[in-house]
Structure 1
Amino acid sequence: MPCSSLPPLFFFIFFVFLLPLVLSLPSFPSDNLTLYGDAFFSHKAITLTTHQPTCSSSSIGRAFFIYPLRFLDPQTNSTASFSSRFSFSILSSPSCPSGDGLAFLIASSTHFPALSMGLPQPSPSSSSFFAVEFDTTFDPSLGDINDNHVALDVNSASSFASVDALSRGIDLKSGKLITAWVEYRHAIKMVRVWLAYSSTRPPTPILASKIDLSERLEDFMHVGFTASNGEGSSDYLIHHWQFTTLDHDSRSMDVVDEGDCFLCYEGDSTGFGYDSNSRENERRKKIAEMALGLAGLTAFVVSVMAAMVVVCVFLTRRKGGVKKNREQGQSCRFQTSKVPTRLSLSEIKSATMGFNRDRLVGEGASAKVYKGYLPFGGDVAVKRFERENDLDCLHNPFATEFATMVGYLRHKNLVQLKGWCCEGNELVLVYEFLPNGSLNKVLHRNFNSSIVLSWRQRENIVLGVAAALTYLHEECERQIIHRDVKTCNIMLDADFNAKLGDFGLAEVYEHSSSTREATIPAGTMGYLAPEYVYSGVPTVKTDVYSFGVVVLEVASGRKPVEDDGTVVVDYVWSLWERRKLIEAADPRLMGKFDALDMERMLLVGLLCVHPDDHKRPRVREAARILKKEAPLPLLPPTKPRVRIRPISPHATPETPYVVTDSFTTDEAPYLTPRSQFY
């Protein structure tokens, strides 16, 4: 980057990045909130009610966001999900009973006759509303359970669901700062409310109730708070508020950005005794704060200019080094900025509607996969592991997969881990959701299906899997053997790009280590290399064999083992021996492929499934052949036979070989893990 380009570059950055920052600096509360009744701004909080000289003097106050918000998704004609977080405190007078209470309110109008807590009075012409009330008085006529409860109201001050807050450890009238989270999920038709004295949301909501708000709310609604004192006297203060609506793609709709629509901090006040000059004092503070803000912005701009000079020099010196690093491939070191989020079990259950079978999209030997939805993550794949009662988090395929994914894996052709949960008897991993499902389901659809992968899509899929395995085998800080490469574990995104997943059987080794422990062979028959079945020792070449089966599967459209017992590897070898290799091409392609490219892919597949693991290429080399960057492989005219020599403490160079053509699925479980192939 030539330094002479700094001025235009700076102005570009200023108008693209800094100017929006100036326009979106946190505004003062009066700029984006409208107050009604007795509500006023004080001590960096909204005080909704005023302290009256007598206990029976009623006080009602409301605060609404200045603009109505859209709650109807015009594309789906359904109510958008929403989420709100706010902090409040309720300060009671020592000489008077507590006031009515405080409510978080979504209403179609800001002007209405009021009932308890300032909620709208129901009438044929009244506005519709939804409220979460924090009730501090007991009114049996409204169905109150006590004078310290949280409840949900829809178009009526009589609650349809309520819970005793004190029984959950929350005293609404304690005067402490309380944080509340309110969430509505349209996908599951559920409202949930959390309460805590801290800023960390508890794992379990204090109140959860099924309700379809699409039948209750209108297209545009006003969002805010209301409170009243009734026969008592309390101050209801809102210290911090954040509100977001989401459509079904988890994008912010017609609403304030995900930042705060009102932001202030807990004041040093009891809420009583403000004099008549309090509003004037607030205006003076605003002017002073604005001056400080402008000074800070000026300092920020100057700092950015200085930083750009430094960056200019740095980039000029590092240009060669960056290019070299890119040529060496992606780093596989731990990236703290992408650490998956720990989720609570309640969030997982909510995302999957209680692991509803209608949400089940996949099932394996150790886990089931559900399609889920997270408010701030969109669609996700929730992998729920089977767990025995005597197992803990460290003795389960969950632990292997979690440790592998968290510690090392960041690649565009690997399914990305988003979150996890280890709570009670549940072990769950949350992955990105890939809409086209597994390659197995797409490749082996009904023969008459109108959806058939094109030749270009198949080439792209094979190269994507090759890139993922090259990354695991050669580019990671530690070498990772997947041990379960198959079409069921290859997922396809919206553009049919391949992403390798399911690391429940993965093994991690140091690149310099030559030690491989023998284990009971794990994986899926049809994809297992013969030497691995016999020895139980996983290597890079056992993954190469599985990759070769996938290549043959993609090219031929055949399953690794057909229903009649035909093995795709043997089938393609037999065609090669008869010089009819092209006949292995998937007939559903109807000849829409280049014959030389098809033969090239089939030859690469056969080379990768060579019975002699020493004759198999690395995945990187196989990819170069597919991309025509290396010559076609030379294969023997007939399928070679497998030659095995068992390993034992008394083995000598004269130990006879075991010669065989293949292993059956019946033999595999009983083969000794102490052997070696030559």
Structure 2
Amino acid sequence: MNHHFLFFFLYLILFLTQDFPALSHRFSPSSQQNFTLYGDAYIRDNTISLTQQQPCFPSAVSKPSCSSGIGRALYTNPIKFLETSTNTTASFSCRFSFTIIASPACPFGDGFAFLITSNPDSFSFSNGFLGLPDPSLDPHGSFIAVEFDTRFDPIHGDINDNHIGIDINSVSSFASVGAVSKGINLRSGRETTAWIEYSDVLKLIRVWVGYSRVKPKSPILAAQIDLAGKLKEYMHVGFSASNPAVAAAGSSLHIINRWKFTTFTSNSDSIQEDDEDCFEDHPPPRKVRDFKVSIVGLKIPFWSLIPGLAAIVILTSFIAFSLIRGKMKKKKKIVEYDTNPRLNKIPGRLSLDEIKSATLGFNESTIVGQGASATVYRGSIPEIGSVAVKRFDRAHWTECNRNPFTIEFATMTGYLRHKNLVQFQGWCSEGTETALVFEYLPNGSLSDFLHKKPSSEEEVLTILSWKQRVNIILGVASALTYLHEECERQIIHRDVKTCNIMLDAEFNAKLGDFGLAEVYEHSAMIEGRDATLPAGTMGYLAPEYVYTGVPCEKTDVYSFGVVVLEVCSGRRPVGDDGTVLIEFMWSLWEKGKVLDGADVMLKGEFDAEEMERVLMVGMVCSHPDCEKRPSVKDAVRIIRGEAPLPVLPARRPLLRIRSVKEAEEVMVADGFGGEEDLPWLTPKSRF
């Protein structure tokens, strides 16, 4: 080793052991010039408080408040959102953390909003307006806001007192979601982080919220909207909040801890000049100096250090390569559903020309499926291979934030990866056309194999063997276990049925169609979830879901139980003659002839003990009492013979609904003893 390399090595040690200042820091008073504060907004402990805390004690109720109740903090310089020469609208993203703290003995205030406005001086002093612009005062103005509302105001269309909404030129949200139902409590007093993104290409606003600084995989709210005509050339960006004029009616501190805002060009991912970490000072650029190394007065030409530097680079690269290779080998052994190379492909945006080329211009000859809101076409894309293109029909969209494209796209953008899920390959949103692209499964749906009838005497149908059927059931169970327990956020499919179970070339099951899916935080309790209109297919819907409108993993378990019985028996959930499959199977169970329910097409070629075990799993999973249904993971253990058989009553459980003291109650009779000994279950519902 020559002396040049020795000097370089000593310099490297000194360089790596000295202390360096942090690359980023929180807001400091020295960077207050980045903001313009309005109304009650003020600097508070290196953060910005948009409102002031007012006492709510009885003695203070009659005293006039010196607070206006309204506060705003806007970035000092306006941001460019529209390129007038090309009529191009910018996309944008922002990340900020906030805390909402109620005053002692006070109800919560109105809440706050992330705000983009054309007029920073336009305020509304009405309760519930969050300090947003008043359209009546500025009819030519424009604003976009994402509100974090902690006060229920039905006049403005609020869904509850703890929700997140998107407002466009109106204080009434055109899209909103209950925060608690998604595992977030705006009233908890905890520091919370939000991410807001708008894609001008997709015409889509998405909002993520979480308690950590790691962005969740799935958005809490997504809505289709084109901001092209709503964003002016320059807009002001910041936050707005309000408390009621009378402190006793509600008072909160609305605190913004950190904030970063970025705009993007519409046709690339490059960041424009408007990329500002709004809470950071911006030091002047460092002066570029001649590139020489100086150690203790010795000046060394850089060229003489090249051999040593090259040796270090080679050694470092070898170590990094070894570590990465070892990690990949370990991951390959552990993660079962990452072994398929197609699962590692990140979905991307496809042009309408690519979609039309793949489907021969949406030719009818390429149609492989038809639903209420979409048509599925078979096609081929060079970079992907055979695909199924799901083209949505806008005529069936009833609400902007609840259209099937937005729901399924928002769920699938979490890049769900599992060998038993139909893989998402890309999307297209161009003009009036919206489509999702999935992998193509050559054997179609499970329903086709179970219920298809020969079109002619010469046609020979493929009959699924008992071994294939058990493998299909276990595949669907594996997919549901992944959605319910292994995702970062719990996903309730809400539409588990044989039509949505696809089969690949080896007849492995893949669950698809997430158009009705709901995404929840694992910590969210069922009682905290919002009721919805029951969605799905009759015959697969759990009775408590139809009654309360509140979905949970046990509603998926019920649908899974019906699928199990359907696969074993070859019968539809509701036959053409009106026979209900579950009732039919219980009638056989009561007679001790449950094996008579096996599909006649199997011609007795199955293991009787295994068939009985699987049928019992289907019956317990479709039990009318959700508390007595196992988890999907436990059902798999029973099917595999790793757990004891479920205990089923001698008679079919009955679901009864009756009115007692003007309140509806649900009773499940287990077939044991008299009805007077049975407990009553009162549903908890916000429906």
* TM-score between the two structures when normalised by the length of structure 1: 0.49
Q: Higher Cα Rg: structure 1 or 2?
A: 1
